[in-house]
Amino acid sequence: EGAEYHILGYFVDPQSDAIQAHGRHAVEGRESRMDQMVDRLRRQGLLIEMSDVLDAAGPDRSAIARPHLARALVVKGHASSVVDAFDRLIGDGHPAYVPTGLATPEEAIGLILEAGGAPVWAHPPMHALTRLLPTFVGAGLKGLEVYRPRATAGHIRKLQRAAKAAGILMTGGSDWHDGERGHALGTFFVTEEDVGELLEAGGMSGRSSERQE
Protein backbone atom coordinates (compact mmCIF):
# COMPACT_ATOMS: atom_id res chain seq x y z
CA GLU A 1 0.00 0.00 0.00
CA GLY A 2 3.01 2.26 -0.40
CA ALA A 3 3.87 2.42 3.32
CA GLU A 4 6.84 0.89 5.12
CA TYR A 5 6.41 -1.17 8.30
CA HIS A 6 9.26 -2.70 10.30
CA ILE A 7 9.15 -6.25 11.65
CA LEU A 8 11.81 -7.23 14.20
CA GLY A 9 12.99 -10.81 14.52
CA TYR A 10 13.94 -11.95 18.03
CA PHE A 11 15.83 -15.24 18.54
CA VAL A 12 16.27 -15.99 14.83
CA ASP A 13 18.90 -18.46 13.68
CA PRO A 14 21.19 -16.24 11.56
CA GLN A 15 22.59 -19.29 9.79
CA SER A 16 19.22 -20.56 8.58
CA ASP A 17 18.90 -20.98 4.83
CA ALA A 18 15.97 -18.56 4.74
CA ILE A 19 17.86 -15.79 6.55
CA GLN A 20 21.02 -16.27 4.52
CA ALA A 21 19.14 -16.11 1.21
CA HIS A 22 17.18 -13.05 2.30
CA GLY A 23 20.36 -11.36 3.49
CA ARG A 24 22.01 -11.75 0.10
CA HIS A 25 18.93 -10.37 -1.64
CA ALA A 26 18.70 -7.46 0.81
CA VAL A 27 22.32 -6.40 0.30
CA GLU A 28 21.89 -6.42 -3.48
CA GLY A 29 18.67 -4.43 -3.15
CA ARG A 30 20.28 -1.83 -0.88
CA GLU A 31 23.10 -1.22 -3.34
CA SER A 32 20.67 -0.70 -6.22
CA ARG A 33 18.45 1.54 -4.10
CA MET A 34 21.37 3.70 -3.00
CA ASP A 35 22.54 4.15 -6.60
CA GLN A 36 19.05 5.37 -7.50
CA MET A 37 18.89 7.79 -4.55
CA VAL A 38 22.31 9.26 -5.36
CA ASP A 39 21.17 9.70 -8.97
CA ARG A 40 18.02 11.52 -7.85
CA LEU A 41 20.05 13.86 -5.67
CA ARG A 42 22.43 14.60 -8.53
CA ARG A 43 19.49 15.39 -10.84
CA GLN A 44 18.41 17.95 -8.24
CA GLY A 45 21.79 19.63 -8.61
CA LEU A 46 23.51 18.24 -5.51
CA LEU A 47 27.13 17.25 -6.00
CA ILE A 48 27.42 13.82 -4.44
CA GLU A 49 28.85 10.47 -5.56
CA MET A 50 28.40 6.89 -4.42
CA SER A 51 32.00 7.03 -3.22
CA ASP A 52 30.94 9.73 -0.72
CA VAL A 53 28.32 7.37 0.70
CA LEU A 54 30.86 4.55 0.99
CA ASP A 55 33.29 6.89 2.77
CA ALA A 56 30.52 7.83 5.23
CA ALA A 57 29.83 4.13 5.87
CA GLY A 58 33.43 3.54 6.93
CA PRO A 59 34.94 0.05 7.06
CA ASP A 60 31.62 -1.80 7.38
CA ARG A 61 30.06 -1.46 3.94
CA SER A 62 28.10 -4.71 3.94
CA ALA A 63 24.69 -3.02 4.18
CA ILE A 64 24.64 0.54 2.84
CA ALA A 65 21.58 2.42 4.09
CA ARG A 66 20.03 5.87 4.27
CA PRO A 67 21.88 6.96 7.43
CA HIS A 68 25.14 6.60 5.48
CA LEU A 69 23.74 8.74 2.67
CA ALA A 70 22.51 11.29 5.22
CA ARG A 71 25.99 11.56 6.77
CA ALA A 72 27.50 11.98 3.29
CA LEU A 73 25.06 14.83 2.61
CA VAL A 74 26.16 16.53 5.83
CA VAL A 75 29.86 16.14 4.95
CA LYS A 76 29.24 17.59 1.48
CA GLY A 77 27.41 20.58 2.96
CA HIS A 78 23.98 19.71 1.53
CA ALA A 79 22.36 19.19 4.94
CA SER A 80 22.98 20.67 8.37
CA SER A 81 22.46 17.33 10.15
CA VAL A 82 21.35 13.75 9.60
CA VAL A 83 17.84 14.73 10.72
CA ASP A 84 17.81 17.62 8.23
CA ALA A 85 18.86 15.29 5.41
CA PHE A 86 15.96 12.97 6.16
CA ASP A 87 13.46 15.78 6.68
CA ARG A 88 14.22 17.56 3.40
CA LEU A 89 15.77 15.05 1.01
CA ILE A 90 15.77 11.32 1.68
CA GLY A 91 12.99 10.63 4.17
CA ASP A 92 9.87 8.72 3.14
CA GLY A 93 8.02 10.64 0.45
CA HIS A 94 10.78 13.22 -0.06
CA PRO A 95 12.45 14.06 -3.41
CA ALA A 96 15.25 11.48 -3.38
CA TYR A 97 13.41 8.69 -1.55
CA VAL A 98 13.33 5.28 -3.23
CA PRO A 99 11.25 2.46 -1.65
CA THR A 100 13.19 -0.54 -0.41
CA GLY A 101 11.41 -3.07 -2.59
CA LEU A 102 12.09 -5.74 0.04
CA ALA A 103 9.78 -8.13 1.85
CA THR A 104 6.20 -7.28 2.79
CA PRO A 105 5.40 -7.43 6.52
CA GLU A 106 3.66 -10.77 6.05
CA GLU A 107 6.67 -12.14 4.16
CA ALA A 108 9.02 -10.87 6.89
CA ILE A 109 6.89 -12.52 9.57
CA GLY A 110 6.99 -15.83 7.70
CA LEU A 111 10.75 -15.55 7.18
CA ILE A 112 11.37 -14.93 10.90
CA LEU A 113 9.13 -17.83 11.88
CA GLU A 114 10.93 -20.11 9.42
CA ALA A 115 14.21 -19.13 11.07
CA GLY A 116 12.87 -20.06 14.50
CA GLY A 117 12.32 -16.48 15.65
CA ALA A 118 9.59 -14.36 17.20
CA PRO A 119 8.38 -11.56 14.87
CA VAL A 120 7.47 -8.24 16.51
CA TRP A 121 5.96 -5.14 14.86
CA ALA A 122 8.26 -2.22 15.66
CA HIS A 123 7.01 1.35 16.29
CA PRO A 124 3.56 0.66 14.79
CA PRO A 125 1.84 3.84 13.52
CA MET A 126 -1.42 4.46 15.30
CA HIS A 127 -3.33 5.18 12.08
CA ALA A 128 -2.58 1.68 10.76
CA LEU A 129 -2.72 -0.33 13.99
CA THR A 130 -6.40 -1.29 14.08
CA ARG A 131 -6.54 -2.03 10.36
CA LEU A 132 -3.36 -4.11 10.02
CA LEU A 133 -2.80 -5.81 13.38
CA PRO A 134 -5.34 -8.62 12.75
CA THR A 135 -3.70 -9.34 9.39
CA PHE A 136 -0.21 -9.45 10.89
CA VAL A 137 -1.35 -11.61 13.82
CA GLY A 138 -3.00 -13.95 11.33
CA ALA A 139 0.35 -14.22 9.55
CA GLY A 140 2.04 -15.24 12.81
CA LEU A 141 3.05 -11.96 14.52
CA LYS A 142 4.11 -12.68 18.11
CA GLY A 143 4.54 -9.22 19.60
CA LEU A 144 3.99 -5.47 19.42
CA GLU A 145 6.56 -2.83 20.32
CA VAL A 146 4.60 -0.89 22.92
CA TYR A 147 7.30 1.09 24.73
CA ARG A 148 9.62 3.57 23.02
CA PRO A 149 10.83 7.07 23.91
CA ARG A 150 8.75 8.99 21.39
CA ALA A 151 5.46 7.24 22.21
CA THR A 152 3.09 9.34 24.31
CA ALA A 153 1.39 7.93 27.39
CA GLY A 154 -1.86 7.79 25.43
CA HIS A 155 -0.25 5.85 22.58
CA ILE A 156 1.31 3.39 25.01
CA ARG A 157 -2.08 2.68 26.62
CA LYS A 158 -3.65 2.06 23.20
CA LEU A 159 -0.81 -0.26 22.21
CA GLN A 160 -1.07 -2.12 25.50
CA ARG A 161 -4.80 -2.69 24.96
CA ALA A 162 -4.23 -3.80 21.37
CA ALA A 163 -1.50 -6.28 22.36
CA LYS A 164 -3.57 -7.73 25.21
CA ALA A 165 -6.65 -8.06 23.00
CA ALA A 166 -4.61 -9.86 20.34
CA GLY A 167 -2.90 -12.09 22.91
CA ILE A 168 0.60 -11.15 21.81
CA LEU A 169 3.76 -9.98 23.58
CA MET A 170 4.57 -6.38 24.54
CA THR A 171 8.14 -5.29 23.85
CA GLY A 172 10.10 -2.06 23.94
CA GLY A 173 13.00 -0.45 22.16
CA SER A 174 15.08 2.70 22.28
CA ASP A 175 14.74 3.30 18.49
CA TRP A 176 18.22 4.80 18.86
CA HIS A 177 20.13 5.46 15.63
CA ASP A 178 22.52 8.27 16.50
CA GLY A 179 23.14 11.10 18.96
CA GLU A 180 20.93 13.62 17.18
CA ARG A 181 17.48 12.27 18.01
CA GLY A 182 16.95 13.90 21.43
CA HIS A 183 17.48 10.94 23.78
CA ALA A 184 20.61 9.12 24.87
CA LEU A 185 21.37 5.45 24.36
CA GLY A 186 20.82 3.50 27.59
CA THR A 187 18.28 5.88 29.15
CA PHE A 188 15.15 3.97 28.12
CA PHE A 189 13.94 0.76 29.78
CA VAL A 190 11.12 -1.79 29.67
CA THR A 191 9.68 -3.77 32.57
CA GLU A 192 11.28 -6.96 33.85
CA GLU A 193 7.95 -8.74 33.39
CA ASP A 194 7.78 -7.92 29.68
CA VAL A 195 11.39 -8.97 29.16
CA GLY A 196 10.68 -12.23 30.99
CA GLU A 197 7.71 -13.01 28.77
CA LEU A 198 9.79 -12.31 25.67
CA LEU A 199 12.58 -14.61 26.88
CA GLU A 200 10.03 -17.30 27.69
CA ALA A 201 8.56 -17.03 24.20
CA GLY A 202 12.04 -17.54 22.80
CA GLY A 203 12.70 -20.53 25.04
CA MET A 204 15.47 -18.66 26.83
CA SER A 205 14.05 -18.09 30.30
CA GLY A 206 15.58 -21.29 31.70
CA ARG A 207 18.97 -20.57 30.18
CA SER A 208 18.84 -17.03 31.55
CA SER A 209 18.21 -18.36 35.07
CA GLU A 210 21.08 -20.84 34.76
CA ARG A 211 23.48 -18.05 33.81
CA GLN A 212 22.38 -15.98 36.80
CA GLU A 213 23.08 -18.90 39.15
The Cα 112–Cα 116 span in angstroms is 6
Identify the band that residue 143 occupies on the pLDDT scale cut at 50, 70 and 90: very high
Which stretch of 56-60, 83-87, 165-169 has the lowest confidence by average pLDDT?
Answer: 56-60
Kindly report, residue by residue over 102-126, the tens digit of the pLDDT: 789 999 999 999 999 999 999 999 8
The Cα 103–Cα 95 span in angstroms is 23
- H/E stretch holding 144 reads strand 143-147
Domains of the chain listed by start with CATH number: 15-90 (1.10.150.650), 105-212 (3.20.20.140)
CA proximity to 143, closest of 190, 207, 209, 177: 190
Pairing of strands 143-147, 118-122: parallel
